[in-house]
Amino acid sequence: MNDVLLCDYAHARAGDKGNILSVAVFAYEPAHYAWLARELTAERVAACLAHRRIGTVRRFELPNLGGFNFVVENALEGGVNASPGIDRHGKSLSYALLDLRLPAPA
């Protein structure tokens, strides 16, 4: 089975609260929700963002909206006021997630 890029099947938006990142991912097509539910796990998101030395990743399902919200602890180098990084809010991390390769849907 070939891998596909998440960005071809979904869009994402990131936000922050202190040192916690929230990334919402929504399927473009309702038919792909079940596939995303199976393949876009908290473990895969954690592996994708591991270079940030993140903490726990929790996934919240939003079936009526065709998406998921991932809450990632310790993802923002201390948060907006403490981080020396360029992307203190973590907005670019939604793009990093959209670059994730997943097994193609059936």
- pLDDT per residue over 40-88, tens digit each? 999 999 999 888 788 899 999 999 999 999 998 877 665 554 444 544 4
Instruction: Determine contact, residues 34/19, Cβ cutoff 8 Å.
Output: no
Close Cβ partners of 14 (under 8 Å, ≥ 6 residues apart): 21, 22, 23, 24, 89, 90, 91, 92, 93, 94
Q: What is the CATH number of domain 3-100?
A: 3.30.1360
Element spanning 15, H or E: strand 10-17
pLDDT above 50 (res 89): no
Q: Where are the domains of the chain?
A: 3-100
Distance CA 59, CA 3 (A): 22
